[in-house]
Chains A and B, each alone.
Chain A
Amino acid sequence: MSYHRPNRGGRRRFGDDYDDRRREIVESPQERLKNIIIKLGEVDPLQEIATVEQHIRDLVPPSISNLSESFHIGVTEQPYKIPFYAALLRLLHNTPPKEDTSDATEQVSLGRQILEEFWKGFQAYVDKLMWRETRLCIHFFAHLVSAQLISADSFVALLQSFTTVLDEFGVSHGRAKRAALCAAEGLMIAGSTLTASTPTIPSEIINAIQAYTETTNSGKWIVQPIVQLHSSSVYVEIADELLDTALAALKALENSGFEGPYPRPYSDYPQLDAETFTPFSLPSVLVPPEVIELDGLSTEAEESEMKKEEWPEFFLRLFPDDVTPDPNTPAGYAVRTDLLAMIDIFEVNRKECARLLLEYPKWTVPGTFKPKPGAPAPEIEPLVNYEWQLESTLLEIILAASLILPESSQPHIYYTALITEVSKLSPSTVGPAVGKSIRKLYSSLADGLDVEIERRFSEWFAIHMSNFNFAWVWKEWIPDLELAVQHPKRAFMRRAIEYETRVSYYDRIKKSLPEAMGEPGAHVLPQQPPGPDFMYEDPTKPHHDAAQSILNLFRGRAKAEDVIAHLDTLRNTLEAEISDSGQPDNVNSLVRVIATQSLLHIGARSFSHLLNAIERYLPLLRTLASGGVTSAASTGNPEAKTDILSATASFWKYNSQMVAIVFDKLMQYQIVDPADVVSWTFSHVSETGIDEPEADLKAPLSLSTFEWNLLKAALNKAIGRVNIARRKLALLRKEDDENRARVRHMDVDGEPKPAESVPENPALNVALKAFSSLTREQKSALSRTLEGFISCLAPSITSAHPNPQAKEILTEHSWHNRVNWGKEEWSAWETWGWYRHFCRVYSPYLRNYAATFATVSFARFEGQSDPAIELLQKIWNVSTGQE
């Protein structure tokens, strides 16, 4: 069957265009008004408020629901416009002079009707726990309190219903954080009005948040961006924790009588007549409990969707306070809050997000940001003189949000793409801010910047550079080539170049580097492109002929069974050879390695070739994995699977990306299990270098980012499978329940049928079995990872290559002496970093097995006092919520 027809040219396009035209709908007057309201202030916010008011009044009869919805969209999707929407609503509270005032309903202003309707929408957000919308509505209400439209007392009560959440027993950090921000930010905006009626409210809210944050210290310790192995205190020089900044800003505002940093366009309007006007009194609300937290009570807890743990959030600072806002100050906090909300809201369109971010200054109090160079002098006298740099502020906030530990709230690539867009819109002003941010992060690498932050930093760097011609001034880092080879700065350079090469190609990246970085001793750029290394390629190498015989079968598309049969023969031949030469080689293992490498060789041309090779020879791979050359067991043989993984790692030793890809597909096709990859990674960390010249650079028993990525891929594969199985099971359970209900319903005689009469759903049993076996596998992968880390960091005396530095580097003295650290010290340090990250990022899963794992892994240390063991245990306890 062919799809190819001649003369298709443009005809089809015409059809598409026609369809699009047809779908265009004519805008109704209500739609048009909604758009006018949403677009409020795109040219001149202050001037447009009255114009939009007029548009609203002109459309009669008013549709209150349409108007309220428009305000909702405005407030929850464009938080920077909230003060202006408050002003608009204030104007709509004016009752225009009417000749006939006999009709009582005419007395209720349009604004009041909208507000009452708006409130219902807010109530719905709270009921559905839509926290962002809830918080932004509170911003709006706070401005309305300042504009005298809402009663201060009722707003105080609203804020109190959020501080109550902080006192809930066992409240999750995510819930507490969001509730605290609602109360804090409402107070920040409306503080001066609120204190007039309720003087105690600031201290009440501050104390509630403070009491809560004091309970979060160990959590802060495990997610702070600077690793301090020797100390359990929180290091605050380079980053600020979100709730701490809210507290600091609140305290500053309290001291200044809530002289807020917010635009208040409504403050110039005449006062409403106190005789006739009664402010709206917000009804009381109750913040409902989290759905998931209720779910925990259900009997099938294990089957319910895993909830991500939330931790305190540290935002890195990259610039001094006179360049970018300090979030501990009220004005700085307000700016960052707006920008973070925008980054979050416009995630669906990064291009528009970038444009809106660059336009942000127009929504702020004049003088907040430095005017654009060459822009005409502002018409309005600046009210403040912060003069922050917009581009640096944007870079700092986007990067900080992208580097939050253990995970950023959006996928990391979103922030990367957003920075690319911001840079594209204004290359000459954003470029320098990007450069300074990179230099600042790079310099922090020497001060203990977290390993996961370093990993994301190098990923961002590579993708960013690939969008901007790989133009980086590498030569300024040449002096750092003197540092120890595993120093984080050198590790960063290696990794950044490796990642750049992956999205580009070797010669292109080589050209972008100064000569010094291409030197073999620099260990920055590998000496050759990342190609395969087929062990038996060279005719002079042992077993070349054996490999050729297998390759010939593959090339001739021999059936898998025939290859398996050939391997049997080959094994006998090799056995004879080996016994002649007297080498103590394991012949089964040798056959597996030759066969695996040969298969990878025919699949080496591209990812698709790899998939074709694997798929064509799945029975062969399964036979290899089962241990015997003849097919036997199905679960495979650990030793055999180790051989397959080792053969892969050595075949692609110059290409870490391909190692990860092949491992991923070997897991996908169920040749190896995630737990096999975990075990392999820990038992081979000291053997396989990414690049041969670097093999000797590796310290014994330590993990670098390469190994961490393999572990992460294996753990995520195991977790992903459980998630798929869980969803499938939930679906089948639902179907099953419905079927049962139907059977009961059909039974019209009134005699309820006994439960057995409903046939068991065989699919449900299969799904249950799959779920439990995958859950077991997930548990085993996690437990082996924990064991692996312990064997690296607290090695037993009998272990093969203990790193003597794993314990030595834990003292404060050693840390301050880190300029003298060599590769072993830095390797040990990095391994500690990955252990810490493993515990905190997989904490929701680890918690499920905390008791079992602790018994298996930590009980043996009972009674021993050793700083490494204590730290291992402490990190574990904090991550699993036991400390």
Chain B
Amino acid sequence: MNVVQRLDQPSNYKDSQSRVDRRYQDDLLSNSTTLYIGNLSFYTTEEQIYELFSKCANPEDGGGIKRIIMGLDRNTRTPCGFCFVEYYTHAEALASMRYISGTKLDERIIRCDLDMGYKEGRQFGRGKSGGQVRDEHRQDYDPGRGGWGAQAQRLEIERRRQEVEERYVDAQDGPGAVAGGGEEWREVENSEGKLKRGRSPGDEGDNERTVGSFIVSPRCQRLR
């Protein structure tokens, strides 16, 4: 195609904190099954996202939505306006770039970008106040994203978040905190031991996360 630009090319957006080199990034992107979705309303649910993105799913080709990882405010554990959608196939991710990116979800125009793949910890916002960096600098009033920029109107934000604030209070980080969504089909073995998926023994029960009672800096929060 020479006459127009394809819409399913990766944009300039890169995971700014990823340390892999550019060529390797391009390589990952050209096989990527994961999308970063931006400009979501804080109130948009995973099921709304699922419904829209399932329009690009192609189960007949072995595809489908593998999982959705909601971006959360690191401090409040509430959605902060982005998510990752992971499909089973690369073609589905490309289709979303062509047909969904730039259309509305929950009455906001959302943006999709090919992503190198979810890495532990990326579900949390990186802004100083816990949300996304862009909301730190925002000057406008955006009712879908907690009103004024994070520096102002904190009370107003709290009130509007009531609807969603309960949902992710149990969100965890660390290995195994985010479910995989189900792998490819494989022959079922008879022995029970083999049935169990590879979860490390520490995963269950003992990594309950207690949110710190005081926060020195965002950095400390993550390092603890």
Q: Chain B interface: which of A227-235, A685-693, A713-721, A866-874? A: A713-721
**Nearest Cβ in chain B — how far from A551, in angstroms?**
14
Cα–Cα distance between A611 and B186 once the two chains are bound (Å): 19
Partner of A716, one of B59, B126, B167: B59
Cα–Cα distance between A765 and B158 once the two chains are bound (Å): 59
Asked whether A350 and B99 contact (CB < 8 A) given A502-B48, A622-B195, the answer is: yes
Name the residue of chain B whose CB is nearest to the CB of A355.
B4
A661 within 8 A of B: yes
Asked whether A559 and B204 contact (CB < 8 A) given A417-B103, A607-B47, the answer is: yes
Partner of B45, one of A77, A606, A622: A606
Asked whether A631 and B180 contact (CB < 8 A) given A16-B14, A19-B22, A616-B204, the answer is: no
Residue pair A463, B47 in contact (C-beta under 8 Å): no
Chain A, residues 43-83, CB within 8 Å of chain B (1/0): the string is 00000000000000000000000000000010001100000
Cα–Cα distance between A615 and B7 once the two chains are bound (Å): 35
**Nearest Cβ in chain A — how far from B221, in angstroms?**
8
| Number of residues on chain B facing chain A (CB within 8 A) | 72
A346 within 8 A of B: yes
Cα–Cα distance between A608 and B61 once the two chains are bound (Å): 24
Q: Which of A6, A420, A615 has the most CB of B within 10 A?
A: A615
List A residues 550-582 near B (Cβ within 8 Å): 556-559
Q: Chain B interface: which of A284-292, A322-330, A332-340, A769-777? A: A769-777
Residue pair A2, B104 in contact (C-beta under 8 Å): no
Name the residue of chain A whose CB is nearest to the CB of B12.
A16
Cα–Cα distance between A721 and B6 once the two chains are bound (Å): 30
B51 within 8 A of A: yes
A683 within 8 A of B: no
Name the residue of chain B whose CB is nearest to the CB of A613.
B179
Partner of B12, one of A20, A467, A608, A611: A20
Name the residue of chain A whose CB is nearest to the CB of B6.
A348
Name the residue of chain A whose CB is nearest to the CB of B92.
A411
A161 within 8 A of B: no
Partner of A720, one of B61, B188, B222: B61
Asked whether A73 and B2 contact (CB < 8 A) given A5-B219, A607-B68, A723-B62, the answer is: yes
Chain B, residues 64-77, CB within 8 Å of chain A (1/0): the string is 10011110000000
Task: List the B side residues contacting A20 at CB < 8 Å.
Answer: 12
Asked whether A634 and B179 contact (CB < 8 A) given A413-B99, A559-B205, A661-B50, the answer is: no
**Nearest Cβ in chain A — how far from B153, in angstroms?**
23
Cα–Cα distance between A233 and B217 once the two chains are bound (Å): 75
A761 within 8 A of B: no
DSSP class of A's interface residues: helix, strand, loop or mixed? helix
Asked whether A557 and B208 contact (CB < 8 A) given A2-B219, A4-B126, A657-B51, the answer is: yes
Task: List the A side residues contacting B70 at CB < 8 Å.
Answer: 606, 608
Cα–Cα distance between A244 and B84 once the two chains are bound (Å): 47
Cα–Cα distance between A353 and B56 once the two chains are bound (Å): 19
Task: List the A side residues contacting B223 at CB < 8 Å.
Answer: 2, 4
Chain A, residues 652-667, CB within 8 Å of chain B (1/0): the string is 0000011001001100
Residue pair B48, A503 in contact (C-beta under 8 Å): yes
Residue pair A412, B55 in contact (C-beta under 8 Å): yes
Cα–Cα distance between A459 and B8 once the two chains are bound (Å): 23
B210 within 8 A of A: no
Residue pair A2, B205 in contact (C-beta under 8 Å): no
B181 within 8 A of A: yes
Residue pair A352, B4 in contact (C-beta under 8 Å): yes
Asked whether A77 and B1 contact (CB < 8 A) given A413-B100, A414-B98, the answer is: yes
Count, A-B residue pairs, CB within 8 A: 203
Asked whether A611 and B192 contact (CB < 8 A) given A2-B222, A20-B12, A502-B48, the answer is: no
Name the residue of chain A whose CB is nearest to the CB of B119.
A3
A790 within 8 A of B: no
DSSP class of B's interface residues: helix, strand, loop or mixed? loop
B95 within 8 A of A: yes
Residue pair A557, B189 in contact (C-beta under 8 Å): no
Cα–Cα distance between A702 and B45 once the two chains are bound (Å): 33
Asked whether A417 and B186 contact (CB < 8 A) given A351-B7, A606-B45, A723-B62, the answer is: no
Asked whether A417 and B188 contact (CB < 8 A) given A8-B16, A720-B60, the answer is: no
Cα–Cα distance between A346 and B102 once the two chains are bound (Å): 16
Task: List the B side residues contacting A38 at CB < 8 Å.
Answer: 2-3
**Nearest Cβ in chain A — how far from B98, in angstroms?**
6
- Which of under 10, 10 to 19, 20 to 34, or 35 or more describes the interface residues of A? 35 or more
Residue pair B60, A723 in contact (C-beta under 8 Å): yes
Partner of A719, one of B45, B60, B69: B60
Task: List the A side residues contacting B100 at CB < 8 Å.
Answer: 413, 417
Task: List the A side residues contacting B117 at CB < 8 Å.
Answer: none
Residue pair B185, A670 in contact (C-beta under 8 Å): yes
Chain A, residues 526-569, CB within 8 Å of chain B (1/0): the string is 00000000000000000000000000000011110000000000
Asked whether A349 and B55 contact (CB < 8 A) given A466-B105, A614-B179, A619-B196, the answer is: no
B213 within 8 A of A: no
A12 within 8 A of B: yes
Task: List the A side residues contacting B4 at CB < 8 Å.
Answer: 346, 348-349, 352-353
Residue pair B51, A502 in contact (C-beta under 8 Å): yes
A504 within 8 A of B: yes
B121 within 8 A of A: yes
Task: List the A side residues contacting B45 at CB < 8 Å.
Answer: 505, 606
B147 within 8 A of A: no
Task: List the B side residues contacting A557 at CB < 8 Å.
Answer: 204-205, 208
Cα–Cα distance between A658 and B31 once the two chains are bound (Å): 29
Task: List the B side residues contacting A108 at CB < 8 Å.
Answer: none
B197 within 8 A of A: yes
List B residues 167-208 near A (Cβ within 8 Å): 167-168, 178-182, 184-190, 192, 195-197, 199, 204-205, 208
Task: List the A side residues contacting B185 at CB < 8 Å.
Answer: 670, 721, 724-725, 770, 774
Asked whether A606 and B48 contact (CB < 8 A) given A348-B1, A348-B4, the answer is: no
B106 within 8 A of A: yes
Cα–Cα distance between A463 and B53 once the two chains are bound (Å): 11
Chain A, residues 1-44, CB within 8 Å of chain B (1/0): the string is 01111101000110010011000000000000000001000000
**Nearest Cβ in chain B — how far from A610, in angstroms?**
8
**Nearest Cβ in chain A — how far from B26, in angstroms?**
11
Residue pair A78, B61 in contact (C-beta under 8 Å): no
**Nearest Cβ in chain A — how far from B86, in angstroms?**
11
B52 within 8 A of A: yes
Task: List the A side residues contacting B140 at CB < 8 Å.
Answer: none
Residue pair B56, A503 in contact (C-beta under 8 Å): no
Partner of A611, one of B180, B187, B217: B180
Name the residue of chain B whose CB is nearest to the CB of A713.
B59
**Nearest Cβ in chain A — how far from B49, in angstroms?**
8
Cα–Cα distance between A766 and B189 once the two chains are bound (Å): 13
B142 within 8 A of A: no
Task: List the B side residues contacting A657 at CB < 8 Å.
Answer: 47, 50-51
Task: List the A side residues contacting B1 at CB < 8 Å.
Answer: 77, 345, 348-349
List A residues 327-376 near B (Cβ within 8 Å): 345-353
Chain A residues with CB under 8 Å of chain B are 2-6, 8, 12-13, 16, 19-20, 38, 73, 77-78, 345-353, 411-414, 416-417, 420, 459, 463, 466-467, 469, 499, 502-505, 556-559, 605-608, 611-612, 614-616, 618-619, 622, 631, 633-635, 657-658, 661, 664-665, 668-670, 713, 716-717, 719-721, 723-725, 766, 769-770, 773-774
10 pairs, CB–CB < 8 Å, chain A vs chain B? A16-B12, A346-B4, A348-B7, A466-B107, A502-B47, A503-B105, A505-B106, A557-B204, A608-B178, A608-B179
Chain B residues with CB under 8 Å of chain A are 1-8, 12, 14, 16-17, 22, 45-48, 50-52, 55-56, 58-64, 67-70, 95, 98-100, 102-107, 121, 126, 167-168, 178-182, 184-190, 192, 195-197, 199, 204-205, 208, 217-219, 222-223
Identify the 10 closest CB pairs spanning chains A and B, nearest first: A668-B182, A611-B179, A3-B17, A716-B59, A720-B62, A413-B55, A724-B62, A557-B205, A352-B4, A607-B46
Known: A3-B121, A615-B199, A618-B197. 8 other contacts (CB 8 A): A2-B121, A3-B126, A346-B4, A608-B67, A614-B182, A615-B179, A619-B196, A774-B185
